[in-house]
Amino acid sequence: VATSQPNALGLYDILGNVEEWTDNETVAGLGQVVGGSVTSPAAPGLLVRSVNKREKRRTLGFRIIVD
């Protein structure tokens, strides 16, 4: 944890082994997922996409943030 420099928002280590759910709902029934998983191809920038809220995969998770 915190082994690299923070991003523009001051967050550390936001890339990991799973794509992460956000609390954003794009359209009814679809949630927003950010980042990539260990199975995603390498890509520059932050990946953002919409997926069915009922989707379950081993490479899809969430992050707990404490302020």
Q: What is the pLDDT of residues 5-60, one digit of tens each?
A: 777 777 776 666 788 999 888 888 899 998 888 787 777 777 888 999 999 988 89
The answer to whether residue 65 sits within a structural domain is no
The answer to whether residue 8 sits within a structural domain is yes
Measure the N-to-C terminal CA separation of the chain; round to a whole number of Å: 16
The answer to whether residue 67 sits within a structural domain is no
The pLDDT of residue 17 is 78
- Domain limits at 49? 1-57
State pTM to two decimals: 0.62
The answer to whether residue 33 sits within a structural domain is yes
Q: Which residue has the higher pLDDT, 4 or 27?
A: 27
The answer to whether residue 44 sits within a structural domain is yes
The pLDDT of residue 46 is 78
Cα angle vertex 64, ends 8, 37, to 5°? Answer: 70
If one counts the domains in the chain, the total is 1
The answer to whether residue 63 sits within a structural domain is no
DSSP 5: -
The answer to whether residue 66 sits within a structural domain is no
